[in-house]
Structure 1
Amino acid sequence: MLRLPEGVKIWVATAPCDMRKQADGLSALVEGSLGQAPKSGHLFVFFSRRRDFVRILFWETNGYCTVSKRLEAGRFRVPEPVEGQGAVHLEARQLAEVLALVETGSGVRQRPVH
């Protein structure tokens, strides 16, 4: 799991994302759809339409970083969107829960958080 510095905000996009996008495409989404500054140092989280793939974008000192995770089975439990907003704000603990809880056909399965 990512260790986040104090003061970093986490924004989860409410619309599904084309996971073929890399850092430049995601940063354009951050500016256009989310209305945020992609080089702010905050984390921007994007899920695929099927919710089985997540990509996280953030800016470090001199460039973009992306972290990706694709599930072999199940789906991520994505936060409910707030009407009229392009993103939902999460705390680090909440993001860890989203990445650890996976929906399966028969319910929800907890994945261990290390």
Structure 2
Amino acid sequence: MTHSDAWENHRLALPNKLFHAVRAGVPVVATDVGELAKAVREHGLGTLYRPGDTRSLARAVEEAVADYAGLRRAVLAASGTLSWEADAHRLLAVYDRLAARRHGQDATRRADAAPVDHGTDEDRQR
């Protein structure tokens, strides 16, 4: 994943490709920029390189190849936390709390409660 450090939106971005890689269970080689680098470091999702530095990129690729098995284990360990299902659960809990606050009630669904089953991707597309 290549990002420049020249624009704020790149420093703040978490590209879908990162989450696609996590879903596929494979590590990434990504630029050492902002939130992308933070996520890669925090979860051990791969290796990082300095934007625009070809030697740094080559080193990051070599490190990813050399430690592929270890990086893959880290990606798999993080996959539950970085999944759409986990995000959906957290978002629904926030919406429930906001709705309950608006209506002066306690939220019925909590962030640590079991996730709600929203069917398959195919069901949601119908």
Do Structure 1 and Structure 2 share a fold, with TM-score over 0.5? no
Normalising by structure 1, we get a TM-score of 0.24
* Higher relative contact order, structure no. (Cα contacts within 8 Å, ≥ 6 residues apart): 1
Could you say which structure has the larger radius of gyration?
2
Greater strand fraction, Structure 1 or Structure 2:
1
